[in-house]
Structure 1
Amino acid sequence: MESNVVLVVDDDKEIRDAIEIYLKNEGVRVLKAQDGLEAIDILDHHEIHLIILDIMMPKLDGIASTFKIREQKDIPIIMLSAKSEDTDKILGLQVGADDYVTKPFNPLELIARVKSQLRRYVSFGNYEGNKQIDLNGLTLDQEAKEVAANGEAVKLTPIEYRIAELLMTHPGRVFSISEIYERVWNEPSYNAENTVAVHIRKIREKIEIDPKNPRYLKVVWGIGYKMEK
């Protein structure tokens, strides 16, 4: 993880400094911002591999910041919030976050999640060869880590890409919610239904002409999801 740069965004200096200590112990370079505006300015001038982003901040909060970040960048975002309700988690994931950690958090759990996200993000492009999959107009290029629908590039977050890749490399196979979560997040699934469902919905909005009547990404009620052959 030595070459990785993580941006920690939180209006609480003690939290920023504490996260920095743990990340530096893992060989990660850390940049810090106290609000969303400062974070976006840093993103414009530095290469960042992952963002740890608090929701409740002055000037520009985490939700609004994520909207702006996702207009330009697909780097992983882990949201922090003192709120633990499912609706807050879903909102964070809907606007483009890849993961969500509730305050107060176990620093070791946060670092584990950072490592997991970085492994997926920095490994993009490490496949040998150029394996391409075409499912009736929906294509996936595993070398370029790109998805296109009817010839138009689809901008997916790292987590969305991993889900699409899992399903597209096994067309017709039904994956349970737990299996999708465990394969993509590399950790045991626990109350993963909402998390997976939000990402599935976002993928559909990007690849389907009519997300409510999907052509590609289908739900198999009571079982899970599949990518149509």
Structure 2
Amino acid sequence: MANGPLAILAVTSDETVSRSLDKCLSSNGYICVLARSADEGIAKYRQSSPALVLIDRRQPSLAALLQAAAKECIPVVSLQPPGQPCGEEECAEDLQTGVDQVLCTDSYREVVARIRALLRRTRASSTRGQRFEICGLCLDVERHEVSVNGREVELTPKEFQILSHLMQHPARVFTRQELLNRVWGEDWALEEHTLDVHIYSLRQKIETDAANPAYVVTVRGVGYKLQSDRIS
């Protein structure tokens, strides 16, 4: 895949959206792999090894596909149907299911630009050969593995990137905007709530008590930091 065009898996039952995505992605040098159902999506995911998964947020029963993508660190973008507004509640729901980004636009050129930026950021964020540990929380960058006291934890790609960045800078306080820029890239105009949703989900997976976090803590009025006690 690194030596040829990148494959983008697009899952939608909307024929108009399918044709538009196929035309726009193909004309920009990507291989567009189309699937019209969740079952077809997971089958084509295994066949095509896509660099990114693009889903129509109206599509049902996508849990298996989202889980497979998260396990292999493949970013997932949820696309709001053209002409329909994006509500904050709907975006939060998508992010909590494991989606990395929600796109609300009628411009397929913008979709391609956002995909390109996300793929660039994802590749740039992969720092190999590093392992971090703090009080039983372990993160292996090369293997893309996280464990808490020996228990393996499955994170979405964005959750992993957030945690990895915080663990590389223990005790440093990052504003929400700094973390958004470092994890998503400055090409994305995102609300700070997007980060808060990912932090909430991350805490549910790594903290013993998510309401009183011991690892990823909030610095009131500023942002977030990783507790630095006994870093190894």
TM-score greater than 0.5 by the shorter chain: yes
2:227 corresponds in structure 1 to 228
Task: Supply the distance in 1 between the matched residues of 2:208 and 2:188 (Cα, whole angstroms).
Answer: 31
* TM-score, length basis structure 2: 0.86
Distance 1:111 1:149 in 2: 37
Give the aligned partner of residue 7 of structure 1. Answer: 9
Q: CA deviation at 1:94?
A: 0.7
Superposition pairs for residues 132-171 of structure 1, below 5 Å? 132-171=131-170
Gaps in structure 2 of 5+ consecutive residues = none
Asked whether the 8 Å contact 2:105–2:111 carries over to 1, the reply is no
Q: Which residue of 2 is the match for residue 112 of structure 1?
A: 113
Alpha carbons 1:133, 1:140 under 8 Å: kept: yes
Give runs of aligned pairs for residues 17-166 of structure 1, distance below 5 A.
17-57=19-59, 61=60, 64-65=61-62, 67-74=63-70, 75-81=74-80, 82-104=84-106, 106-122=107-123, 127=128, 130-166=129-165
Does the 8 Å contact 1:181/1:188 carry over to 2? no
Percentage of matched positions with identical amino acids:
31
Cα displacement string for residues 172-204 of structure 1 (whole angstroms, at most 9, x for unaligned residues): 111111111111111256452210011101111
Query: Does the CA contact (< 8 Å) of 2:127 and 2:141 recur in 1?
Result: no
Cα distance between partner residues in 1 of 2:116 and 2:187: 15
1:197-216 equivalences under 5 Å are 197-216=196-215
Residue identity opposite 1:40 in structure 2: I
Offset at residue 93 of structure 1 (A):
0.4
Q: Is the 8 A contact 2:117 2:187 kept in 1?
A: no
More displaced stretch, 189-198 vs 7-16: 189-198
Q: Distance in 2 between matches of 1:193 and 1:78?
A: 18
184-193 or 155-164, which moves further after superposition? 184-193
SS in 1 for 2:102: strand
Query: Offset of 1:77 from its aligned partner?
Result: 1.0
Deviates more, 1:200-209 or 1:45-54: 45-54
CA RMSD for the aligned pairs? Answer: 2.1
Q: Structure 1 residues 70 and 191 mapped into 2: Cα distance closer, same or farther (>3 Å)?
A: closer
How far apart, CA to CA, are the structure 1 residues paired with 2:25 and 2:188? Answer: 25
Count of matched residue positions in the alignment of Structure 1 and Structure 2: 220
Question: Per-residue deviation at 1:83?
Answer: 3.7
Find the aligned partners of 1:36 and 1:103 in 2 and give their Cα distance.
23
CA, structure 1 residues 156+203, in 2 after alignment: closer, same or farther (shift >3 Å)?
Answer: same
DSSP-derived class of the 2:182 partner: helix
Give how far 1:171 is off. 0.7
- Give the aligned partner of residue 196 of structure 1: 195
Report the AA paired with residue 68 of structure 1: A
Alpha-carbon distance between aligned partners in 2 of 1:171 and 1:196, rounded to the nearest angstrom = 18
Distance in 2 separating the partners of 1:195 and 1:28 = 27
* Equivalent position of 1:187 in the other structure: 186
TM superposition shift of 1:170: 0.6
Which deviates the most, 214-223 or 31-40?
A: 31-40
Distance 1:121 1:188 in 2: 13
Question: Which of 111-120 and 7-16 deviates more?
Answer: 111-120
Q: Classify 1:203/1:190 alpha carbon distance in 2 versus 1 (closer, same or farther; 3 Å).
A: same
Write the distance in 2 (CA, Å) between the matches of 1:13 and 1:146: 38
Kindly provide the amino acid, as one letter, of the partner of residue 101 in structure 1: L
SS in 1 for 2:142: coil
